[in-house]
Amino acid sequence: MKKITTFLLLMMFISSTVLLGQMSTSNATSGEDPSMVKTAVSASAQTPIPAHKLNAKSSSTFTVPAGGSRAISNINIALTVDSWYGEASYNLWSYDAGAYYWATDQTFSSAYQTIVHVLALEEGSNYDLDCFDSYGDGGISGVITNDDTGWDIIDWSNNYGSYGSYGFVAGPGTPPPSQ
């Protein structure tokens, strides 16, 4: 039994090494949960990808937390890719579920394409829109708004390197300044 366990652990290690490629570890300096301070960083990355998110990429299920009683906000996620659409992908991280919204990263099919998702998300829930660029020069700009109020929640440009994470709380957004 001990030999089988050792063999299985060795195979898992080899598999994870192959999946992660040339990765190194560093300590996260973000405001994330202190129990998740270990991150993996690709050689060309400017921003570390949290290890718990890398691990979640191998999971193929997203489970909505049970017993939610909060109001629902219709959140509009509009993403535009640069000319190198084949390098870019994205996914939505849910802190409530501890998983990505989509089982696989979403991609684009043409240069300068804009993709819009309107998702019914629980108000007060925390999310990250994670953008990935295989070349390492960014590639996705975006804006997240509340579809019900029309107010912006967050926006960003496409200059993030290999990985950009844009955190937001599902809710009404920020009203525009008064005239």
Specify the pLDDT at position 84: 96
Identify whether the C-beta of residue 156 lies closer than 8 Å to the C-beta of residue 77. Answer: no
pTM: 0.66
| pLDDT tens string 55-76 | 666 554 444 444 555 688 999 9
Identify whether the C-beta of residue 100 lies closer than 8 Å to the C-beta of residue 56. Answer: yes
| pLDDT tens string 99-142 | 999 999 999 999 999 999 999 999 999 999 999 999 999 999 99
| Mean pLDDT of the 40-69 span | 54
Amino acid symbol at 82: D
CB count within 10 Å of CB 103 equals 12
Specify the pLDDT at position 45: 40
Residue 137 CB contacts under 8 Å (≥ 6 apart), including other chains: 84, 87, 161
